[in-house]
Chain A
């Protein structure tokens, strides 16, 4: 009995097992402590500790990547309560696990409470301290330090019945300070950092039911989504921009329906699905700026914009699987979707130069997509099967862009285009030997009118994988590539991505195990560009290309070692190293414009993180844990003259109490 309870405890602890330095709840804690209270069995563990972090170098980048900081934490906890006979009075199961409570940047809790045949309730709660300065893309002038929280609640009544009722609620909230930028008062003048107070809320309510009739299972769900944003921007006196205030409240609602039918019979399975969502948003924007323009003249401006946007989305899918004999399967999936995005606004600007300006704007973007995928599979033997298929898609995009003065007739720019996708897929599953299995697949396709120069046009993808698995030993290797050639007369874009990977794990004994993996991710792209550059006046430049080459070597290894029941040790190491295109520095280019793009062709860096965890048994119920993790980030040469290098020593010490 004790062994079983011990196993249960370990398993529940594994739920929160982390790659990062804490919590330590996957370590063993003496004999298990399952307690019986009446008709229930209770197993629980709590890990309380102190986390520390010492950072050198670019602290903003550390906060963006890692963000662990000092403080007392409930690093992890697990509680399971189970009825012994499945006939508990109020519930039959409670499963609760938490992580990082007490101000860790990544806090989470899950809860399940259920009573057999009567109800099941699931909760998932998460909260992140989100920090991102966007250094290389915005010169450090963009920053978010917000708290991002999620909740998901699901209640199912009669979960084992043919008729079920489901209700759900989800919430996403983001609050906190941020930094953005604003360009005033014309397109060539200065850009100013603006303080923003972020306030966003998303609430989603769901109500649905499942039923069964003559072997067909039906699902109907009604959904109401509400989004509101009340972020506000403000600034007082930065010289040229003396004052700036902006409010932009937004209210969105998306009522929707979802219906699903599923039937599975002796030789055929059918899935049909229908969804409708009628997204609608309304907004007001009111901003006032006072300062001086680039010529030194006093300037003030008020902008008021009102309007709304609509986006109804209708989708339908039918998936039919036919398996007349066990070894032969035909699958056909037909899908259709229609998305219509329309928006209009009334723009009014008042300033002391032009005095007033107003316009009305209308935009429509419609995407209609019809797809069909047919797959055939034949299993020649128990160890060998082939599959192949054909994909076809017809996408039509319609667009209307319109703008003008109020009271005048609008004659917008309308356009439509269609794209046809034709692709063939195929592959094989093969158990080569008793413990060795291989999988290979490919896709070759063509889009005749891709939407952007980066989109897939002539493309192919291939993937192969071999795995050896025998009891405690797992070895695997794989290869994957994705090639795209989107060349046309004026510009050419091509992308080659290749991934090589190998992984292995060996649970040699109950007290020692090792696992690791290595991946090489190669990417090279080249695209035609057209831009303006030059001194003193900019000229159009068309002869250059945008090139990007990345060669990332990623490896991780971990070793677990236990000294009987007295201590557990984990030693690990993660490495990400982008060797770029092999250059050791930035060479001088023929022109200044060429230099700008040459500098951004590759981004070699090294990011590595050794980790050490030790867990020592103090008593049967108590264990002392300590962990250390180092984070080192180093760019071979900075981009846009921004140095983001940092190094951080982080760790924790904790007591784990389990009973």
Chain B
């Protein structure tokens, strides 16, 4: 039978006090066993599904080399020392689990090793990072669907999962062949961020991956539009290709922003204001060009070299 007097015994009080101690003292003040590295071989005991295929994972190289320090080797290279995790018999609180990390923490963990490439030099300033889209938003280390880059999905589908509006553009009749597998998003974009562009006003990069000498990425493939030309079409160089073209897809021929070319040309070539390379308006069409004549409605029939010409300032040849 329970007796209240039992509680008042000194030994019992001491026992209760010891039991209550963890409730009073913050966890960090309690003496904590050192969290030791245990090695990846221990991890596979409980995680055989991960380990079985890990030799095909790029991160396996850290194990294969045998030269890396424990903090950069195998499982514990990313998840931290596993000593406490093993001692506790598992559980996410005892290990660096990416599913429990904030985006900042995940980014910092990956950049401990992956910051040495030029392509990731601007990752902390990228629009993806700003939107909390960090490494493990796109990469899946253990369930990747691509041997290269360990992407969580095929690249196109991965990008589409957030950019449905862009997908709609690639489904249009005139488009770059992304869905057909011929072009990839990363041909033009660097999802890890990029430096300020050298065209437009240089303030909005759209994470474009610049071409050969910091030009628009379009010129990686469309090399004949690159020049240098004697007569540059100034708007191409100053404002960029997307001044006239929709780079992803369009319902219009040649990915143009308008279905017919004369409206596109005349919206700039109207002589108004302080625009243009002479800061006095972009020149109007010639008075000999009667817009009722179908020939003059198709500007590019005569101005065939409108991206730039070496021969003619009007881009006629």
Residues of B within 8 A of A (CB): 49, 52-53, 55-56, 60-61, 63-65, 102, 104-105, 111, 115-116, 118, 121-122, 124-125, 130-132, 144-148, 153-154, 156-157, 160-162, 164-165, 167-169, 171-174, 177, 179-182, 195-196, 198, 200-204, 212-215, 220-221, 223-224, 226-232, 234-235, 237-239, 243, 251-254, 256-263, 266-268, 270-280, 282, 284-292, 294-295, 297-298, 300-302, 304, 310-311, 313, 316-317
A403 interface residue per 8 A CB criterion:
yes
In the complex, the answer to whether A416 meets B279 with C-beta atoms within 8 Å is yes
In the complex, the answer to whether A533 meets B291 with C-beta atoms within 8 Å is yes
A47 interface residue per 8 A CB criterion:
no
Chain B residues contacting A576 (CB-CB under 8 Å) are 168, 171-173, 251
In the complex, the answer to whether A453 meets B268 with C-beta atoms within 8 Å is yes
A392 to B202, CA, bound (A): 9
When C-beta atoms are compared, the residue in chain A nearest to B147 turns out to be: A95
A274 to B206, CA, bound (A): 20
Q: Mark A624-653, 1 if CB is under 8 A from B, else 0.
A: 000000000100000110000000000000
Q: How many A-B residue pairs have CB under 8 A?
A: 503
Chain A residues contacting B172 (CB-CB under 8 Å) are 552, 554, 576, 607
12 contacts between A and B (CB under 8 A): A16-B181, A137-B253, A160-B61, A343-B310, A392-B203, A454-B267, A454-B268, A502-B164, A527-B267, A532-B289, A538-B288, A554-B169
Stretch at the interface among A48-56, A179-187, A235-243, A559-567: A179-187
In the complex, the answer to whether B298 meets A476 with C-beta atoms within 8 Å is no
A84 to B317, CA, bound (A): 60
A17 to B258, CA, bound (A): 32
Q: Mark A401-418, 1 if CB is under 8 A from B, else 0.
A: 101000000000101110
Q: Which of B169, B181, B232, B267 interacts with A341 by CB under 8 Å?
A: B232
Since A19-B180, A528-B272, A592-B292 are in contact, a sample of 18 more A-B pairs with Cβ atoms closer than 8 Å, ordered by chain A residue number, is A11-B144, A15-B145, A106-B180, A191-B302, A227-B223, A277-B212, A285-B310, A337-B214, A361-B313, A365-B234, A429-B131, A445-B203, A449-B279, A474-B161, A476-B162, A530-B284, A605-B251, A607-B251
Q: Mark A504-542, 1 if CB is under 8 A from B, else 0.
A: 010000000000011101000101111111110010110
A50 to B125, CA, bound (A): 48
B148 to chain A, nearest CB (A): 6
A621 interface residue per 8 A CB criterion:
no
In the complex, the answer to whether A640 meets B260 with C-beta atoms within 8 Å is yes
In the complex, the answer to whether B122 meets A319 with C-beta atoms within 8 Å is yes
A20 to B171, CA, bound (A): 10
In the complex, the answer to whether A150 meets B165 with C-beta atoms within 8 Å is no
A620 interface residue per 8 A CB criterion:
no
In the complex, the answer to whether B301 meets A138 with C-beta atoms within 8 Å is yes
In the complex, the answer to whether A15 meets B173 with C-beta atoms within 8 Å is no
In the complex, the answer to whether A417 meets B279 with C-beta atoms within 8 Å is yes
Q: Which of A223, A532, A556, A607 interacts with B167 by CB under 8 Å?
A: A556
A298 interface residue per 8 A CB criterion:
no
In the complex, the answer to whether A452 meets B61 with C-beta atoms within 8 Å is no
A200 interface residue per 8 A CB criterion:
yes
A347 interface residue per 8 A CB criterion:
yes
Known contacts A200-B224, A319-B125, A449-B274; A382/B235 CB under 8 A: no
A441 to B232, CA, bound (A): 36
In the complex, the answer to whether A530 meets B272 with C-beta atoms within 8 Å is yes
In the complex, the answer to whether A8 meets B121 with C-beta atoms within 8 Å is no
